[in-house]
Protein backbone atom coordinates (compact mmCIF):
# COMPACT_ATOMS: atom_id res chain seq x y z
CA UNK A 1 0.00 0.00 0.00
CA UNK A 2 1.49 3.35 -1.02
CA UNK A 3 1.77 6.40 1.24
CA UNK A 4 -1.17 8.18 -0.36
CA UNK A 5 -3.52 5.25 0.27
CA UNK A 6 -2.28 4.95 3.85
CA UNK A 7 -2.90 8.66 4.38
CA UNK A 8 -6.48 8.28 3.11
CA UNK A 9 -7.23 5.39 5.44
CA UNK A 10 -5.72 7.20 8.42
CA UNK A 11 -6.91 10.79 7.86
CA UNK A 12 -9.62 11.33 5.27
CA UNK A 13 -12.54 9.33 6.73
CA UNK A 14 -12.21 11.29 9.99
CA UNK A 15 -12.06 14.54 8.01
CA UNK A 16 -15.35 13.57 6.33
CA UNK A 17 -16.97 13.10 9.73
CA UNK A 18 -15.72 16.50 10.83
CA UNK A 19 -17.18 18.09 7.70
CA UNK A 20 -20.50 16.34 8.28
CA UNK A 21 -20.59 17.49 11.90
CA UNK A 22 -19.92 21.07 10.85
CA UNK A 23 -22.84 21.00 8.42
CA UNK A 24 -25.22 19.26 10.83
CA UNK A 25 -24.50 21.64 13.71
CA UNK A 26 -24.74 24.78 11.60
CA UNK A 27 -27.87 23.69 9.71
CA UNK A 28 -29.61 22.92 12.99
CA UNK A 29 -28.95 26.42 14.33
CA UNK A 30 -29.46 28.36 11.09
CA UNK A 31 -32.75 26.65 10.23
CA UNK A 32 -34.30 28.49 13.20
CA UNK A 33 -33.01 31.96 12.30
CA UNK A 34 -35.78 32.98 9.87
CA UNK A 35 -35.44 35.40 6.94
CA UNK A 36 -31.92 36.80 6.88
CA UNK A 37 -29.59 39.09 4.97
CA UNK A 38 -25.85 38.52 4.75
CA UNK A 39 -23.49 41.49 4.94
CA UNK A 40 -19.96 40.99 3.59
CA UNK A 41 -17.04 43.38 4.01
CA UNK A 42 -13.55 43.96 5.30
CA UNK A 43 -12.40 42.73 8.70
CA UNK A 44 -9.89 45.61 8.65
CA UNK A 45 -12.39 48.44 8.36
CA UNK A 46 -11.71 51.00 11.09
CA UNK A 47 -14.47 52.05 13.43
CA UNK A 48 -13.98 55.66 12.37
CA UNK A 49 -14.62 54.88 8.69
CA UNK A 50 -17.93 56.10 7.20
CA UNK A 51 -18.54 52.61 5.81
CA UNK A 52 -18.39 51.21 9.35
CA UNK A 53 -21.11 53.61 10.42
CA UNK A 54 -23.18 52.76 7.34
CA UNK A 55 -22.91 49.07 8.21
CA UNK A 56 -24.14 49.75 11.76
CA UNK A 57 -27.14 51.62 10.34
CA UNK A 58 -27.77 48.87 7.78
CA UNK A 59 -27.74 46.15 10.43
CA UNK A 60 -30.07 48.14 12.64
CA UNK A 61 -32.57 48.90 9.88
CA UNK A 62 -32.63 45.31 8.65
CA UNK A 63 -33.23 44.02 12.18
CA UNK A 64 -36.02 46.54 12.73
CA UNK A 65 -37.76 45.06 9.71
CA UNK A 66 -37.55 41.53 11.00
CA UNK A 67 -34.45 40.27 9.19
CA UNK A 68 -31.67 38.42 10.91
CA UNK A 69 -28.27 39.86 10.00
CA UNK A 70 -25.57 37.35 9.08
CA UNK A 71 -21.88 38.22 8.88
CA UNK A 72 -18.58 36.41 9.06
CA UNK A 73 -18.56 37.20 12.77
CA UNK A 74 -15.25 39.06 12.79
CA UNK A 75 -14.20 42.69 13.26
CA UNK A 76 -14.56 45.62 10.86
CA UNK A 77 -17.65 45.68 8.67
CA UNK A 78 -18.82 42.39 10.18
CA UNK A 79 -18.71 43.82 13.68
CA UNK A 80 -20.54 46.93 12.51
CA UNK A 81 -23.46 45.06 10.92
CA UNK A 82 -23.74 42.74 13.92
CA UNK A 83 -23.65 45.74 16.23
CA UNK A 84 -26.53 47.42 14.40
CA UNK A 85 -28.64 44.27 14.52
CA UNK A 86 -27.94 43.73 18.21
CA UNK A 87 -28.75 47.38 19.02
CA UNK A 88 -32.17 46.90 17.43
CA UNK A 89 -32.81 43.73 19.44
CA UNK A 90 -32.60 41.54 16.36
CA UNK A 91 -30.88 38.28 15.54
CA UNK A 92 -27.20 38.94 15.00
CA UNK A 93 -25.49 35.92 13.47
CA UNK A 94 -21.73 35.49 13.22
CA UNK A 95 -20.28 32.66 11.14
CA UNK A 96 -16.73 32.84 12.39
CA UNK A 97 -13.79 31.05 10.78
CA UNK A 98 -10.52 29.95 12.34
CA UNK A 99 -7.73 32.09 10.85
CA UNK A 100 -4.14 32.54 12.04
CA UNK A 101 -4.15 36.35 12.15
CA UNK A 102 -7.06 38.75 11.98
CA UNK A 103 -10.29 36.81 12.44
CA UNK A 104 -11.54 37.08 16.00
CA UNK A 105 -15.21 36.91 16.92
CA UNK A 106 -16.91 40.21 17.68
CA UNK A 107 -18.99 40.71 20.83
CA UNK A 108 -22.17 41.76 19.04
CA UNK A 109 -23.24 38.34 17.78
CA UNK A 110 -26.04 36.71 19.74
CA UNK A 111 -26.04 33.63 17.47
CA UNK A 112 -22.37 32.69 17.06
CA UNK A 113 -21.17 29.72 15.02
CA UNK A 114 -17.60 28.60 14.50
CA UNK A 115 -16.23 26.95 11.37
CA UNK A 116 -13.04 25.17 10.42
CA UNK A 117 -13.88 24.84 6.71
CA UNK A 118 -14.44 27.83 4.44
CA UNK A 119 -16.75 25.89 2.14
CA UNK A 120 -19.12 24.86 4.93
CA UNK A 121 -19.27 28.45 6.09
CA UNK A 122 -20.02 29.68 2.56
CA UNK A 123 -22.90 27.25 2.23
CA UNK A 124 -24.48 28.70 5.37
CA UNK A 125 -24.08 32.27 4.11
CA UNK A 126 -25.98 31.42 0.95
CA UNK A 127 -28.43 28.77 2.11
CA UNK A 128 -30.05 30.92 4.79
CA UNK A 129 -30.08 34.37 3.18
CA UNK A 130 -32.57 36.12 0.93
CA UNK A 131 -30.32 39.08 0.15
CA UNK A 132 -26.62 39.97 0.10
CA UNK A 133 -24.87 43.28 0.74
CA UNK A 134 -21.25 43.56 -0.36
CA UNK A 135 -19.47 46.42 1.36
CA UNK A 136 -15.84 47.38 0.65
CA UNK A 137 -13.40 44.62 1.45
CA UNK A 138 -10.44 42.57 0.32
CA UNK A 139 -9.86 39.11 -1.12
CA UNK A 140 -12.48 37.45 1.07
CA UNK A 141 -15.17 39.91 0.03
CA UNK A 142 -14.25 39.51 -3.65
CA UNK A 143 -14.34 35.74 -3.26
CA UNK A 144 -17.83 35.92 -1.76
CA UNK A 145 -18.94 38.41 -4.42
CA UNK A 146 -17.77 36.11 -7.23
CA UNK A 147 -19.24 32.96 -5.72
CA UNK A 148 -22.69 34.39 -4.98
CA UNK A 149 -22.76 36.09 -8.40
CA UNK A 150 -21.94 32.78 -10.08
CA UNK A 151 -24.69 30.95 -8.17
CA UNK A 152 -27.28 33.55 -9.21
CA UNK A 153 -26.04 33.76 -12.81
CA UNK A 154 -26.14 29.98 -13.23
CA UNK A 155 -29.56 29.83 -11.52
CA UNK A 156 -28.32 27.56 -8.78
CA UNK A 157 -30.00 29.94 -6.33
CA UNK A 158 -32.87 32.43 -6.83
CA UNK A 159 -32.16 35.93 -8.05
CA UNK A 160 -31.81 37.42 -4.60
CA UNK A 161 -30.90 41.11 -4.25
CA UNK A 162 -27.15 41.59 -4.72
CA UNK A 163 -26.24 45.01 -3.39
CA UNK A 164 -22.83 46.60 -3.94
CA UNK A 165 -22.54 49.25 -1.25
CA UNK A 166 -20.04 51.99 -2.09
CA UNK A 167 -20.20 53.38 -5.63
CA UNK A 168 -16.63 54.66 -5.62
CA UNK A 169 -15.23 51.38 -4.31
CA UNK A 170 -17.03 49.12 -6.79
CA UNK A 171 -16.89 51.34 -9.89
CA UNK A 172 -13.48 50.16 -11.04
CA UNK A 173 -14.38 46.48 -10.83
CA UNK A 174 -17.66 47.00 -12.69
CA UNK A 175 -15.86 48.98 -15.42
CA UNK A 176 -13.34 46.16 -15.76
CA UNK A 177 -16.13 43.58 -15.96
CA UNK A 178 -17.85 45.66 -18.62
CA UNK A 179 -14.78 46.20 -20.81
CA UNK A 180 -12.88 42.97 -20.26
CA UNK A 181 -15.65 40.42 -19.69
CA UNK A 182 -18.77 41.76 -21.39
CA UNK A 183 -17.06 43.25 -24.45
CA UNK A 184 -15.21 39.97 -25.03
CA UNK A 185 -18.40 37.95 -24.72
CA UNK A 186 -17.41 36.16 -21.51
CA UNK A 187 -20.61 37.31 -19.79
CA UNK A 188 -23.98 38.61 -21.00
CA UNK A 189 -25.24 42.15 -20.56
CA UNK A 190 -27.92 40.83 -18.22
CA UNK A 191 -25.19 39.55 -15.92
CA UNK A 192 -24.18 43.13 -15.14
CA UNK A 193 -27.78 43.92 -14.22
CA UNK A 194 -27.72 41.53 -11.27
CA UNK A 195 -26.44 44.27 -8.97
CA UNK A 196 -27.78 47.35 -7.27
CA UNK A 197 -24.95 49.81 -6.67
CA UNK A 198 -25.67 52.36 -3.96
CA UNK A 199 -24.29 54.57 -1.22
CA UNK A 200 -27.58 54.77 0.65
CA UNK A 201 -28.65 52.42 3.42
CA UNK A 202 -32.33 53.13 2.82
CA UNK A 203 -31.97 52.16 -0.86
CA UNK A 204 -30.31 48.86 0.08
CA UNK A 205 -33.01 48.06 2.63
CA UNK A 206 -35.78 48.99 0.21
CA UNK A 207 -34.36 46.66 -2.46
CA UNK A 208 -34.54 43.76 -0.01
CA UNK A 209 -38.05 44.70 1.11
CA UNK A 210 -39.15 45.00 -2.52
CA UNK A 211 -37.87 41.48 -3.20
CA UNK A 212 -39.78 40.19 -0.19
CA UNK A 213 -42.95 41.93 -1.39
CA UNK A 214 -42.59 40.37 -4.84
CA UNK A 215 -42.00 36.81 -3.65
CA UNK A 216 -44.39 36.86 -0.69
CA UNK A 217 -44.13 36.66 3.11
CA UNK A 218 -40.88 35.49 4.74
CA UNK A 219 -41.95 31.84 4.94
CA UNK A 220 -42.45 31.76 1.15
CA UNK A 221 -39.13 33.38 0.25
CA UNK A 222 -37.23 30.84 -1.89
CA UNK A 223 -34.35 29.12 -0.14
CA UNK A 224 -31.00 28.50 -1.73
CA UNK A 225 -30.05 24.86 -2.26
CA UNK A 226 -33.57 23.76 -1.33
Would you say residue 9 has pLDDT above 60? no
Domain that holds residue 127: 33-218
Residue 92 phi, psi (nearest 5): -120, 100
CATH at residue 133: 3.40.50.450
Residue 166 is assigned to a structural domain of this protein: yes
Coil, strand, or helix at residue 177? helix
Nearest of 146, 128, 125 to residue 137 by alpha carbon: 146
Residue 171 is assigned to a structural domain of this protein: yes
In this predicted model, what pLDDT tens digit does every residue of 131-187 receive, in sequence order? 999 999 999 999 999 999 999 999 999 999 999 999 999 999 999 999 999 999 999
Range from 13-17, 48-52, 59-63, 146-150 carrying the lowest mean pLDDT: 13-17
Read off the pLDDT band of 102 (50, 70, 90). Answer: low
Neighbours of 175 (CB within 10 A): 10
Evaluate whether 75 touches 104 at the Cβ level (below 8 Å).
yes
| Residue-level pLDDT at 147 | 97
Residue 181 is assigned to a structural domain of this protein: yes
Look at the chain and report how many structural domains it folds into. Answer: 1
Amino acid sequence: MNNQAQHFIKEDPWRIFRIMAEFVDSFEVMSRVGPAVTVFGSARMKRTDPYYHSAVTLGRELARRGFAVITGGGPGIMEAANKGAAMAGGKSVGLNIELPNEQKGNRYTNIPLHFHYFFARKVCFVKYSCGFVFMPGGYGTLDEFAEVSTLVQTQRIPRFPLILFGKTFWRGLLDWMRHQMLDRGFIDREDLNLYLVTDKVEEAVEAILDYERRVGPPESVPKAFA
